[in-house]
Amino acid sequence: MQGVKGFYLGISTNVTRACVLNATKMGVYDIFKTAFKDYGFKDGLLMQFGCAFAAGFFMSCTVTPFDMVRTRVMTQPKDLLLYKGMVDCFTQVINKEGLMAVYKGFLPVWGRFAPATTLQLIIFEQLKKAQGLKTL
């Protein structure tokens, strides 16, 4: 048992991942919606779907490395610490396995984010519209 300290093992990696995830989701969604509107597309369900799907893809691109590091940091043996933290894990993985190693698990991450993000953002936009609020 690792106790309370083990419970919080990798917390900084998890918080960093959450920040990257949400910044990417809302940033990409807003950028795509603004670009589509600038090109004359009408705001509607189809445009929201496309923008939300793009946000899910780019979230996968930015979050997969943090997922891989989080998993390694949080599952390392308690009696043999392989990584001192997030930066050390990134450094070791890239040095030993190459840059593309940080994208191990990309397809499952994308398979989870694409539908979830698409539904989340479309429902968010539709609820705002139903309440009479302006959409993004």
Between CA 31 and CA 13 the distance in angstroms is 26
**Residue 126 belongs to domain with CATH number:** 1.50.40.10
Q: What is the pLDDT of residues 6-38, one digit of tens each?
A: 667 668 888 999 999 999 999 999 999 999 999
What DSSP letter does each residue of 35-57 carry, written as one string? HHHHTTPPPSHHHHHHHHHHHHH
- Judge whether 121 lies within some domain: yes
Instruction: Kindly report the average pLDDT of the chain as a whole number.
Output: 90
| pLDDT at site 2 | 62
Grade residue 78 by pLDDT with cuts at 50, 70 and 90.
confident
- Judge whether 94 lies within some domain: yes
Q: What is the pLDDT of residues 112-126, one digit of tens each?
A: 999 999 999 999 999
- Judge whether 57 lies within some domain: yes
* Count of structural domains, the chain: 1
- Judge whether 135 lies within some domain: no
